[in-house]
Amino acid sequence: MKQLLITIAAVVAVGNGEFNVFGVTGKDSSSPTKSTKGEWEYLDNGLIRIGVNKSRGACIGFFGDSKTKRNVLNHYDHGRFIQQSYYGDLDGSNWNGKQWRYNPIQGGSWQGKDARVLELRINKDKDSLYAKIEPRHWANGNSCPEAIMEQWITLEGSLANVRSKMTYKGKEHHLARHQEMPAVFVDAVLKNLIYAHQGKLVRRIPGWPNERGKTSEDWIAYVDEKDWGIGIHTPGTSQFTCYRFKGNGQSGPHGSACSYVAPIQTLRLQQGKIIDYEFSLTLGSLKEIRRRFESELEE
């Protein structure tokens, strides 16, 4: 995994995008997900375990160590998964009383309407999974067949490698926006955001709402007080947005509290555009996370 791939049939317009928080509000007004038996599919190579929710657009909602099976992610509602999400122009939609914009996301809408999985293929012998998804508009809940998403997951040692692709055949949008690559929601107990900037490690605890940051090594980690946690590496993304949402204080996969981060690129949605990028996930100590991602950069 060496680079970010953006394949476009037209010219990409890059400018000062506007980023908006999605997936949570100060009142926990989104519809929580309900995990029922049979909704999940997992890959497990004996080191790491990753799971997708078949009812929520095959979004990644589980990532953990194979032995403990502790899930470090948060999937409180349809917006809180590791998933694709894209932003376009204002379109008259409304999210919880807020004017919203065109926003197809992989998991479903804020009111709990599930995205549709069109195809799901799993090869557990090769630790791989493929999914094709018809997303929903986050605000109005409409299906978005003009923005078909695809996802490939493979396990390689302590790394989960993910390729995300969106083929857009809808109308032209006028403004470039910050696009999440991808949106990542983790357990709120992992509160320390770590990243490298100009050769030094930066440590911070994000607040609410969104904060911005820059990294010189294209990876970010959320760790606990013992510097253990999850790392995310999206090649070609030197900027990110982040926050921590306290909610009612409950942590864990289903908790209303969460830690959020998303590497970002600024892109305009255009008819015929294909957005195709890759990212990696890993678990471990901060030293292990950095070493694994540095090895990726050297390949």
Per residue of the chain (299 residues), give pLDDT as tens.
444 443 333 222 223 334 454 444 334 446 676 555 559 999 999 999 999 999 999 999 999 999 999 999 999 999 999 999 999 999 999 998 999 999 999 999 999 999 999 999 999 888 999 999 999 999 999 999 999 999 999 999 999 999 999 999 999 999 999 999 999 999 999 999 999 999 899 999 999 999 999 999 999 999 999 999 999 999 999 999 999 999 999 999 999 999 999 999 999 999 999 999 999 999 999 999 999 998 776 66
Structure tokens at 94: 């409304």
Q: How far apart are the first and last CA of the chain?
A: 8
Helix and strand counts by DSSP (H, E) for the chain: 1, 22
What pLDDT shows up at residue 234? Answer: 97
Which residues, other chains included, contact 94 with Cβ-Cβ below 8 Å and sequence gap of 6+?
100, 139, 140
Sheet strand arrangement including 83-85: 136-137, 104-105, 83-85, 177-187, 258-267, 239-245, 211-214
Structure tokens at 129: 């999974």
What pLDDT shows up at residue 199? Answer: 87
What pLDDT shows up at residue 21? Answer: 47
Concatenating the DSSP letter of every residue in 134-154 gives E-EETTT--B-TTEEEEEEEE
Calculate ∠ Cα 3-5-8, nearest 5°: 155
- Half-sphere exposure of 218 toward its Cβ, with a 13 Å CA cutoff? 21
Domain boundaries, the chain: 6-298
Whether 117 and 131 have beta carbons less than 8 Å apart is answered as yes
Can you tell me whether residue 124 is helix, strand or coil? helix
Segment (H or E) for 197: strand 192-197
Structure tokens at 217: 């090594």
What pLDDT shows up at residue 9? Answer: 31
Can you tell me whether residue 8 is helix, strand or coil? coil
Can you tell me whether residue 203 is helix, strand or coil? strand
Whether 32 and 77 have beta carbons less than 8 Å apart is answered as yes
**pLDDT tens digits, 186-213:** 999 999 999 999 989 999 999 999 999 9
Whether 87 and 177 have beta carbons less than 8 Å apart is answered as yes
> What fold does the segment set 6-298 form as a domain?
Beta-galactosidase; Chain A, domain 5 (2.70.98)
β-bridge partners, 160: 155, 281
CA distances for 133 relative to 51, 54, 83, 225, angstroms: 16, 10, 11, 37
